[in-house]
Structure 1
Amino acid sequence: MMPFRFLPALLSLLSVSPAHAGDFDQYEELQALIGSLEKEGVYPPGELTAVFTNVNRQDKALEAIGRPAEKTREWKSYRPNFVNDERIRKGVDFWNKYSTELDAASRQFGVPPEIIVAIIGVETKYGGNKGSFRVLDTLSSLAFDYPPRAPFFRKELRTFLVLAKEQKLDLLNTYGSYAGAMGFPQFMPSSWRNLAVDYSGDGKTDLINDPVDAIGSVGNYFLANGWKSGEPVAVRARIIADNYDEASTTELKTTTTLNDLASKGLAPRDGDFPPDSAVAGLRLQGENGAEFWVAFNNFFVITRYNRSHLYAMAVYQLAESIRAARSPAAPSPTAS
């Protein structure tokens, strides 16, 4: 791979040489990718080569991918960014506006409306902030200049190029997150191609402009990743033995059963659950000290969206808050 280092003289040369204006167009890996897409007939010869003369390295994306908030902050400072009055209020408004579609998606995919709403709220403030990074710049930078996850992002770059042709996206005017996620639900290209649905029935799958497609696609995403309808997400735990520190995990999956968790010192504070339920114990550093939780399968399905306990808990608590604000007298369903 050609290293991304240019001398001032070379920069000056490139600035007056359109054929070499892009930051990646001389990379062998990119040339191989372009060649394969041309061979498969996805793009005609020369089209992508011309596009990539206008693709630039995105340093801010490279910096951000190495320090996500989920890995650098504690729960007490992470939570207020997502579980706050503005997102709750706007979540209620979004639910009211699309209640018919949310109810239909909940019935079809088994995912509570508040979970779908909360995902869109956490990801983009209900479509208010879909990202300011040009996706082709971002994915190219991560694919070719971020070795820790280069294979993943090269696949996503390839998928984006195919997706753009299928969906008639403008390659140089499609924007998203610093990781290349797009639209109301911030789907990566592979998730868009594999799991997005045309829920509005207009003949196209548009996650960037169509919130109804986003609603159906989030529901389908969770169903495909193992969401179990009617089952709980998480409940607060109470300490029942001194060895409770052994009960918490950093893993992104259920690790034990309720019976075994109790033997390690944690039990649900409320509710009646089968003793053989698959669970994991969580410890989060809250504003008033350590918080202990019992997390079920559906909690970890949320982490398939973003691999973080903090993220999943923010989605869950925002969902609960939106549901309560919309229907203050309604009992809390176990599915949410």
Structure 2
Amino acid sequence: MRVLRGRAARHAPWLALAGVLGWAQASLAGEYESSPQVAEFVTEMTRDYGFASEQLVSLFAAAERKQNIIDAISRPAEKVKPWKDYRPIFITDSRISRGMEFWREHEEALKRAEAEYGVPPQVIVAIIGVETFYGGNTGGYRVVDALSTLAFDYPPRAPFFRKELREFLLLAREEQVDPLTLTGSYAGAMGLPQFMPSSFRAYAVDFDGDGRINIWSNPVDAIGSVASYFKRHGWQPGEPVVSAASIEGDAAEQGLTVGLDPVKNVAELRGLGWTSADPLDDLLPVTAFRLEGAEGAEYWLGLPNFFVITRYNRSVMYAMAVNQLAELMVEARGTQP
């Protein structure tokens, strides 16, 4: 990846970057060269954001439509795995041990992230571990190909990906980086923390102070960026993530939360037969959910920090995997000599 430059030149004229970024190439016969959708998009970016149209035309001439991206995102959703099958995907000895190594390697940055943002090291490490196995699998697609394919050739979610494509071009201009060099997942998620371009622009930080934001190959910037994301979404320092619960009575099932947003508080759930293993404020809104564990049904109350994790990925099981991986790494550190 080309080294990212700082935001100081975010307002530099787009055309002036041609020599630096090497975009001024001869026009190629690409899938998007004569697309009316692309022409409309180029007009919008030129009119609303001051891009040079000739640079965008050259960029989209070099962009490639990827059928395997369309196939991947169009694939029928797999049946949702029960927790007893989902958990072993992310809670493994190798993910714990590699997480411990990552923690040791970047302990100073993780301590500083906790001091500045209030997010504990184990949560940051667990996010990066679940997302990309600590940078081992960050995706091999050019982001411009992924976002162009989905913005112009995947109608069901075209508005979303068109917005992300816009954010990506703004990101590249602000950071003065060649967008043809940046890689990510088939959906355009980038770097160790798998930020979408809009998340990068909103939350990514230059955490090592070198004047660059590099979440692709700089773990320190990735650590600071994850912590920044969590703080901005309301992480509460020192507070737990979940509380185990037990249920009793026929009305208990009525307490289960539909979706992720908490709609009942602790007292209301108690009235339906829920009992928390921990003392919780009666008026605290919580997410009440049941998981199919290896030893039977598990009942849990998701607390405000649990909801913050679900803002990163809108999944109860994802949030539980992150939390349990984090807890197991803390436990492992405590048992090491």
1:232, 1:296 within 8 Å by CA — same for their partners in 2? yes
Corresponding position of 2:100: 92
Q: Does 1:299 align with 2:306?
A: yes
Corresponding position of 2:265: 257
Q: Does 1:169 align with 2:177?
A: yes
Secondary structure of 2:192's partner? Answer: coil
TM-superposed deviation, 1:69: 7.2
Q: Does 1:277 align with 2:284?
A: yes
Corresponding position of 2:225: 217
Q: Deviations over 1:87-121 (max 9, x none)?
A: 11111111111111111111211111111110011
Corresponding position of 2:150: 142
Corresponding position of 1:115: 123
Structure 2: gaps (5+ residues): 1-25
TM-superposed deviation, 1:245: 1.7
Q: Percent identity?
A: 48
Secondary structure of 1:182's partner? Answer: coil
- Of 40, 43, 48, the residue aligned with 1:35 is 43
Q: More displaced, 84-93 or 259-268? A: 259-268
Q: More displaced, 319-328 or 85-94? A: 319-328
Counterparts of 1:276 and 1:38, CA distance in 2: 51
Corresponding position of 2:60: 52
Corresponding position of 2:19: none
Q: Deviations over 1:201-231 (max 9, x none)?
A: 1011111121111111111101111112222
TM-superposed deviation, 1:40: 5.7
Structure 1: gaps (5+ residues): 1-17, 330-336
Secondary structure of 2:286's partner? Answer: strand
Paired residue type of 1:60: N
Counterparts of 1:179 and 1:124, CA distance in 2: 14
1:70, 1:308 within 8 Å by CA — same for their partners in 2? no
Secondary structure of 1:87's partner? Answer: helix
Q: Describe how 1:219-238 pairs up with structure 2 within 5 A.
A: 219-238=227-246
Secondary structure of 1:238's partner? Answer: strand
Q: Describe how 1:2-17 pairs up with structure 2 within 5 A.
A: none
Corresponding position of 1:317: 324
TM-superposed deviation, 1:326: 1.2
Counterparts of 1:266 and 1:90, CA distance in 2: 37
Counterparts of 1:67 and 1:220, CA distance in 2: 33
Paired residue type of 1:97: E
TM-superposed deviation, 1:168: 3.2
2:142, 2:183 within 8 Å by CA — same for their partners in 1? yes
Counterparts of 1:188 and 1:36, CA distance in 2: 21
Q: More displaced, 39-48 or 27-36? A: 39-48
Paired residue type of 2:70: L
Secondary structure of 2:257's partner? Answer: coil
CA RMSD of aligned residues (A): 2.1
Alignment CA distance shift 1:262-1:41 (3 Å): closer
Q: Deviations over 1:142-176 (max 9, x none)?
A: 11222232211111001101212222333223211
Corresponding position of 2:6: none
Corresponding position of 1:10: none
- Of 199, 219, 223, the residue aligned with 2:207 is 199
TM-superposed deviation, 1:67: 5.3
